[in-house]
Amino acid sequence: MTELHESAGTGPGDAHFAVFSDREDAAAVARSFAHPGTRILKHPSGRPWLVGHWDDQEVVTGYAGSAALAVIGCCPIGAAELERRAGRLRHLAELDALAHSLPGSFHLVAALDGQLKVQGTASGLRLVFHAAVNGVPVAVTRADLLANALGTAPDEQQLAVRLLWPVPYPLFETSLWRGVTAVPPQDALIVAADGRTVRHSRWWTPPEPVRTLADGAPLVRDALTSAVDARTRQGGVVSCDLSGGLDSTSICFLADRSPAKVVASTWPGRDPADTDLYWAEQATKHLPDVEHVVWDADASPLVYDDLLSIDDLLDEPTIGVMDRSRVLHHLPGMAERGSRLHLTGIGGDHVAWCSEAYYHRLARTRPLFALRQLRGFRALWQWPLGATVRALADSRPYGRWLADSSGRLRDPAPVTVATSLGWGMPPRLFDWVTPDAEQLAQRALSEAAATVTPLHPDRGLHADLEAIRSCTRIIRQWDGMASRAGVPMASPFLDDRVIEACLAIRPDERVTPWAYKPVLTTAMRGIVPETCLRRTTKAAAAMDAADGLRRHRADLLSLWENSRLEQLGLVDGQALRRLAQRPSAPGLRDAILYSTIAAEVWLRGLSPTRTR
């Protein structure tokens, strides 16, 4: 592990560790991962099993005979129950049922008769990577832990891929480090008893969306309640975002029903049209026991704030660095008020709503119903008729769509309806990305297209899963940043049980032009007051992004001086420096700088020897 990890320390919310087989050669490798400040869990034999950093309240273990189980993260299971489960374990495949039964967000690690099983969450919030170190398979929860052990550098082709906007599935789930393999979120890593053979084994499959809203909404309510209870059952003080939107408001009302004291935090927007504060105040009228903290809108950091001083250790580039200061700014104030955990409504947009792409299938299976709904969507989103018809007629499989995208990386962005009813937003590269980087990205796209299977045959469910997993790639980095800032964050909407409950509801009732987030409003009825459930708008941060570009022009210019990406031949640094001098240029709309900034900030955070 790096010096930054050791000196920064680890509190709740930032557990990271390596997992080792119960063999002497693995124990020798494990010793190289043990540094001052690391902790060790042992196999029943006494050899190292888990080596890393975690807080006591994040780990539950159970041992019985040759079986050992560890749950690391947020999960309400107790040690006695986990020990009972370990005593009944006869085959590693039996753990799938355990993983599907538990609320929260956690890694599950098992050792049985010399075998290992390591898995994270289906959401992608908790990941697993692996590599052979001195011939010994090692599983980790952060890719950079293995990169450190191997002394390996980032893969330039993968860096070129991360310059795409957006990065499509499956490429955003690939490790950035040479020699390090990422385990897909739906899979577990199995290490055989010989300590050498490794394989991926599927443990999670999305539910088929067949429940009615009436049947499914109570299950969503129960799952979300359990997710919040898993974080608040210990009492104390917890803080919550309260933007006044349906997502954060639901979390706040559920937290208020718990033993914990709740502090609600609202950042009003700078935009005069922003109504977040109004809706937050409507909520707090029904929350007399909740302390409501309203921050000064003008004190809120802007997008692009503080990019030059980011020193968080990240195992991959993340566009989350653009909003890092905004996400963390209020956490010290929450800590002063005693908060031990900060709950967010992040993920509600991804699970309580869903992609209109389901209507590509519904237009074929329920044409009259789909036609009426599509007329509503056309009016709502101003979809042109011709483009809508063309999008519905496009029946390319995902692999073909991805392959076609590889040859159109410099094309203008397609019309919105093509992405809404298709497989998603096709990736693009921008003018400052070099031809060499383009060739690397094209090759990666073509190679992926030749073998890829979509996350689901229905492009709607594929789009939902891709959106969830793209979101969690950002949130897992924010969670580490927040823990380092003093108050760990949690996003209950992104728990697997909540995701499953939402995805199981029929898409024609989840996404409709006639109602806003019907799943959440139905599920929360009786918990959240009707006056709060009536909100049908969502604030945007467009003004903060535009102001941030102008205010931080000098920082952006400095970012491109001695650019690491330029040194690798992936971007035209002169073009980026010219662009930084014109922050109001129309071409900077739609966050097109985000992927490039993310990659540059990440490279700057690595030691110079790690970028070669």
* Residue closest to 449 by CA, chosen among 161, 192, 27: 161
- pLDDT at position 608 is 57
pLDDT 10s digits, 459-490: 999 999 999 999 999 999 999 999 999 999 99
Please answer whether residues 159 and 601 qualify as being in contact, where contact means their C-beta atoms are separated by less than 8 angstroms: no
- pLDDT at position 1 is 28
Sheet of strand 339-343: strand arrangement: 291-294, 261-266, 237-241, 339-343, 489-490
* Residue closest to 495 by CA, chosen among 104, 101, 58: 104
Distance between CA atoms of residues 339 and 449, nearest Å: 46
Q: What pTM does this model have?
A: 0.95
The reply to whether omega before 36 is within 30° of 0 (cis) is: no
Helix axes 358-365, 385-393, angle to 10 degrees: 80
Cα 20 → chain centroid: 26
pLDDT 10s digits, 207-217: 999 999 999 99
Q: Tell whether the torsion through CA atoms of 443, 447, 452 and 458 is positive or negative.
A: positive
**Residues in the chain with pLDDT values less than 70:** 1-11, 538-544, 585-590, 607-612
Residue 339 three-state SS: strand
Measured from the Cβ of residue 95, the count of other Cβ atoms closer than 10 Å reads 20
Structure tokens at 332: 């010290």
Structure tokens at 543: 């003004």
Largest CA distance in the chain: 68
Distance between CA atoms of residues 110 and 73, nearest Å: 15
In this structure, which amino acid lies at residue 248? S
Residue 327 three-state SS: helix
In whole angstroms, how large is the CA radius of gyration of the chain? 24
- pLDDT at position 187 is 98
Distance between CA atoms of residues 326 and 304, nearest Å: 9
Structure tokens at 386: 């011709």
Structure tokens at 532: 């709060």
Set out the domains of the chain in order of their start, with CATH numbers: 3-151+176-202 (3.60.20), 213-352+463-539 (3.40.50.620), 358-461 (no CATH), 543-611 (no CATH)
